[in-house]
A and B are shown apart, each in its own frame.
Chain A
Amino acid sequence: MGIRVIKAGLLTTVQDLGRTGFQSQGFGVSGVMDVRSFKLANLLLDNPENEAVLEFTLIGPTLEFTSDTIIAITGGDFSPKINEAPVTMYQAIYVNKGDVLELGSSATGSRGYIAFSSYLDIPMVMGSRSTNLKSGVGGFNGRKLQKDDYLYFRVKRRYIPFFLSRKLQINEFKEQEIQLRVVPGPQDQLFTAAGKKTFYKSSYTVTSDFDRMGCRLDGPYIAAKTTSDIISDGIAFGSIQVPSHGKPIILLADRQTTGGYGKIATVISADLPKLVQCKTGDKVRFKEVTVEEAQLLLREEVKEMDQYRRQIHHPCREVLDCRLTAKRLERMMR
């Protein structure tokens, strides 16, 4: 009644939107890196918005299903196959008992997600199912998945309405040069005018120092007026800190709660998925926006999600066609 891990992949963990409410006591949030792909995976299956999924990185896992269920795969393109036949991403897929799902290495993007209609049976720890790797808490035994791990399902849910309509035409994360919109601050005053200009006008390269905790960029030196050290304060998802070496580090899902380096700007939520799906060597540019613009973009994303939800809740053409034919036949038989 679940899944068996045949190959674990590079870094496969159980994640949801993260563990909030304990940051004041030094406990990090964790949670999925790419919130958008995560939400789309759950949306495709009518799962609760914060239902736990598997997140995998660069090389995906191979999983054997020991019961029927419905899954959806989103994020970067990991060329998924079931029993060696390719399957489509961003679509509800019915999986039979004994099927083997194999995920390769990512052709585009760097992180993928699998949502399950039968929900993973992972205990809630401090209000979340997310794996906090640093503290060894939450998720599957507080660690990344290994060969022969067995994850149970919580419920039997093998039917969802409008099954054939549950597909979306989404193909993101192809670009190797991205623009990230940022809200300046909270410590941009620590940097010289020239330093800020460098930051906004230059192209930075994603280094191999890129994990769930943060992404280190290489590129032109960002000059601080005196020092960029500050009295430690709280860190947000997407905070861009610039230590004295003058190169930006963007803090991500597994960030510490507080830090002592000045933060020149913060990546807006709508652009974080683009960043976390980057690969080593990709180029990044920054563009300044206001907090109002950033919040407007998020509201638009909510509308977009609603639009997708409506789209997958319509009978699809194939089904409608059958119904029309049946109606005509019925008339003829009368």
Chain B
Amino acid sequence: MADIQFSPVGDSSVLLEFGHDISEETNAKITAFSKALKSMPTAGIIDQVPAFCSLLINYDPRLVTYATLVKKMKELSKTASQAAGAMGRVFEIPVCYDGECGPDLENIAKLSGLSAEEVIKIHSEPEYLIYMLGFMPGFPYLGGLDERIHVPRLEDPRLKIPQGSVGIGGAQTGIYPLESPGGWQLLGRTPVKTYEALRKPPILFEAGDYIKFVPITKEMFDKIENDAGYKCQVRRKEV
């Protein structure tokens, strides 16, 4: 991991650029570096913000200067490598694709020239890599949506999208962790609360984890929604 580019972002942050493309390879480097940094507490580091091809590190300049921090990060980048056969977490997120849970499912099927069943099958097949979280607490930017079900955003965005809605916007799919306005076409909804402020951890997954959608019935949806102790399945897989 030799080719990281460092630039100061004001006096309390530094931006580490790992590449200039959205790729699994670049993202894996960021995840590996971020994990290495977390496991090696460094004086002055406050927070990290991993994104598609960069990592922003916030630090307290009263405790460490820019030059010292960059030197430390360069040393860390020599040792932090993607360990071969590293394990990634796969979160199995149950999704109800029925009627009111997926108000745009029929529309997505029509736009992509497929049946609703085919759309569900295609959508729930892959293990999507979480490139980053942003926009709102716990909103995952997922990569790897099948081209056959890429559909444009709604011309007229909804003012209110229920919590847990699963949607498609262009080449991306994702889960709305909170009720919010939004323009993605909704094909399902999960009863799993991916974000809850008072839970530990408040947000289920991190960048570098995977999400696999598992179709469930409306009965199952209601059952999980009313089960306060429900925990979604987490598998480990080699990456």
Contact = CB atoms under 8 A, between A and B. Distances in A.
B175 to A, nearest CB: 12
Interface size class of B (residues with CB under 8 A): 35 or more
Given A231-B51, A292-B66, A25 B58 contact: no
DSSP majority for the A interface?
mixed
B181 to A, nearest CB: 12
A98 interface: no
Interface stretch (A83-91, A162-170, A208-216, A234-242): A234-242
A269 B56 contact: no
What 6 A-B pairs come out closest when comparing CB atoms?
A234-B56, A234-B49, A266-B10, A294-B11, A258-B134, A26-B133
Nearest to B48: A24
19 contacts: A21-B47, A23-B58, A24-B47, A24-B48, A26-B136, A183-B9, A183-B10, A185-B15, A233-B49, A233-B52, A233-B56, A236-B10, A236-B12, A263-B9, A266-B11, A291-B8, A292-B65, A295-B65, A297-B11
A6 interface: no
Contacts of B141: 232
B54 A233 contact: yes
B62 interface: yes
Contact of B134 (A256, A267, A269, A292): A256
Interface size class of A (residues with CB under 8 A): 35 or more
B162 to A, nearest CB: 16
A282 to B, nearest CB: 21
B135 A24 contact: no
B238 to A, nearest CB: 23
Contacts, number: 151
A280 interface: no
A198 B134 CA distance: 32
A160 interface: no
Contact of A26 (B10, B12, B139): B139
Nearest to A28: B137
A23 B10 contact: no
B46 to A, nearest CB: 5
Contacts of A238: 10
Contacts of B232: none
Interface string B162-203: 000000000000000010000000000000000001100011
B203 A186 contact: no
A302 to B, nearest CB: 6
